[in-house]
Amino acid sequence: MEAINTRLIQANYKRRSLRMLTGTGLVLGTILVALVVPLFGYVMSLIGALLSSCTSIVFPCVIYLKISKGYRRCLEFESVVLVVIIVMGLVLMVTGTYSAIVGITLHL
């Protein structure tokens, strides 16, 4: 939504009503999709469990480990803590994905 509003600001600097109309249309479209798709909440739960735990917990730790191993800056204790965080993120991802799939299959 921010990208659309930024594009509208560049195109029509004085058109605040157009920005408000665009934002309202996007929100109404999202509500319409949520009402039409019966398992929308479960699908969003599945996507969130898979993607958000990877992008916010696992990937940053893995990337930091890769970068710090290249420069030999990473200490032993720090490596252990990062590996524990990665394992916890993977456990949360698997648990969330499993519960979302169970929710979807129960409501089919």
Amino acid identity for residue 6 in this structure? T
- Model pLDDT, residue 12: 57
Intra-chain end-to-end CA distance of the chain, in Å: 32
- What is the structure's pLDDT at 14? 57
More confident residue, 36 or 98: 98
Domain range summary for the chain, segments of one domain joined by +? 2-36, 40-106
pLDDT in tens, 62-94: 998 888 876 666 677 888 888 999 999 999 999
Three-state DSSP class for 73?
coil
pLDDT for the residue numbered 18: 72
pTM above 0.85, yes or no: no
Residues 75-98: b if buried by 16+ CB within 10 A, e if exposed: eeeeeeebeebbeebeeebeebbe
Contact 79, 61 (CB under 8 A): no
